[in-house]
Every structure is written in C-alpha cells, then in structure tokens.
Copies of this chain bind each other. A is one copy, B any other.
C-alpha cells in the first residue's frame, strides 16, 4: 500500500492515534470522527485526515472512522500485530519501573530478558524476568534473535552497552541515558529524556 516514503513526523503521530483509539475502544466507542480525535490530541482534524490518508482510505465522509478497523490498520502499519520481545539492560529503579509497566500489555511489546552488571541484582526477579549477568549479554541476545532493546544504564556505560547490543543483532534501541549514542547507520535510536520534554514546555512559559 505504501509506495513513497511517508515523512517521519507523520509516522511519529501514528502511535498517538493508535493509543487514543485503543482508549476510546475501552470507553465502549465504535467510531471516531477526525474532529473528536483532533480535540482529544490537540491536533487539527484536517491534519489527522491528511496523515491517515497517506496510508489508505480508512473512513467515509461524514460517518467517521470505524475504531476496530482503524486500530487493526494502524497495528499493521506500525508492525505491532505481533508481540516484540525486548531486552532491558539496567535493573535499577528505572529498569524495575519499566519491567512492571502496565502500558506494554496488548500494545506489541514484552520485556523478555533483563541484564545488569551488579552482582547484587543478578539472579533477582524483575517483573517476570530474572536478571542475567551482562557478561552473557552478547551471546544470549544473539541466540534469542531479539532486535529491540531498552537501555536504562548510567550514562557512563550507555555507549559501550549499546555497541554490545548492536553486535548481538539489536537494531532498535530506546535510550534512557541522557547522552547521544553514536551507532552505525541503520540502527534505530530514540532518546527518552524528561528534560527534553520539560524544556520544550518551558519554551512556551512566561519569562
């Protein structure tokens, strides 16, 4: 269906649409207008219609989108009809919080392995996983075939661990350390840093 590359900024909004449609489905709704979606997300209805139209014809003028159908289509487009196993490296507070995070359920991801270098943590349970020794990371991840990782290690070790993950076959890393990773082309990296979002908000706040 997709012929020409879709702008990344459009792609970045699709997970938001999916999240909101799943919430509306939980509320018992069956259809959604672009106007209602836009109001909830703070995006114009025209923008939503334009974004979705890049991927196909998902709704009829005047009747809104069928929520179950659009959820199904978005899950297909975002490649989350299957559940992706993910590696979590770093079993500190943040790692624990993520391993227990309820938001993963039914959204395409499952924490399947947890690694740390701290001997006090290795062997302990985190969520449904037992923390494994990071010295085995490369071999274990390679054997597992898992390609997505969450990095919750200190900044000082983030680059080294990210390189290990890439060597083991990981090609998508969500990085929680407040540094920019330098990795080969073709590796997807996203940074989660609360400061970036806070600074984005303070830009708009009265000086």
Given contacts A94-B94, A179-B23, A182-B40, contact A16 B171 (CB under 8 A): no
Complex Cα distance A9/B47, Å? 14
Measured as residues with beta carbon below 8 angstroms from the partner, the interface class of chain A is 35 or more
Copies of this chain in its oligomeric complex: 2
Residues of B near A193 (CB, < 8 A) are 19, 103
Cβ of A30 under 8 Å from chain B? no
Question: Smallest CB–CB gap between A35 and chain B, Å?
Answer: 15
Report whether B192 and A201 are in contact in the complex, using a CB–CB cutoff of 8 Å: no
Of B15, B79, B199, B207, the residue contacting A14 (CB under 8 A) is: B199
A40–B171 CB distance below 8 A: no
Asked if A4 is at the interface (CB within 8 A of a chain B CB), the reply is no
Say if the beta carbon of A121 comes within 8 Å of chain B: no
Q: Is B188's CB under 8 angstroms from A98's CB?
A: no
- The reply to whether B201 and A197 form a contact with Cβ atoms under 8 Å apart is no
Chain B nearest CB, measured from A165 CB (Å): 13
Q: Is B188 in contact with A192, judged by CB distance below 8 angstroms?
A: no
